[in-house]
Amino acid sequence: MSLIEELPKPEKVGAVLDYAAILQLLPHRYPFLLVDKVISLETTPVNTIVCQKNVTFNEPFFNGHFPGEPVMPGVLQIEAMAQSGCLMMMLLHPENKGKRPAFMGVDSCRFRKPVRPGDVLTMTAVEEKYRRGVGSLQVTAKVGDEIVSEATLMAMMV
């Protein structure tokens, strides 16, 4: 039985995994859980996951970033992308069951456009390399059809 078969089935149409399953996989909790649902998980031609984060005005970081002009901090966009990639590593590599993700590094990061309240942030992570619990991921975050941030991330399962 694969890990994904052991998780609760999503209640929402269009979700592969919803928040209930994500809470069983990631150790993060409010206000640091930055993935609301997994909308796609593919293994061919390469391992790829697509996740979403609904950005609301009630996010705690908007109080100070910035008053009168709320913008989602870039570091939290990176964290949302990293959480998406780690979900993929946990779901597609059975040896990671019971392990937790650890962020190792970020390269070639670019922020293209601001992310504001009301946006739906869609993160796509593609596994470039995976060996012995360490993965290199190419991750892109979009709002609609526009890229807002992108990076190459490294994470490991511990």
CA atoms of 27 and 100, how far apart (whole Å): 7
As beta bridge partners, residue 106 has: 153
51 residue type, one letter? C
Which residues touch 7 (CB under 8 Å, ≥6 apart)?
A: 17, 21, 24, 25
67: preceding bond cis by omega (within 30 degrees)? no
Closest C-alpha to 85, from 47, 121, 114:
47
Residues tagged active-site: 65
How would you class 80 by CB atoms within 10 Å of its CB: exposed for 0-12, middle for 13-18, buried for 19 or more? buried
Give just the sign of the alpha carbon dihedral 62, 105, 156, 124.
Answer: positive
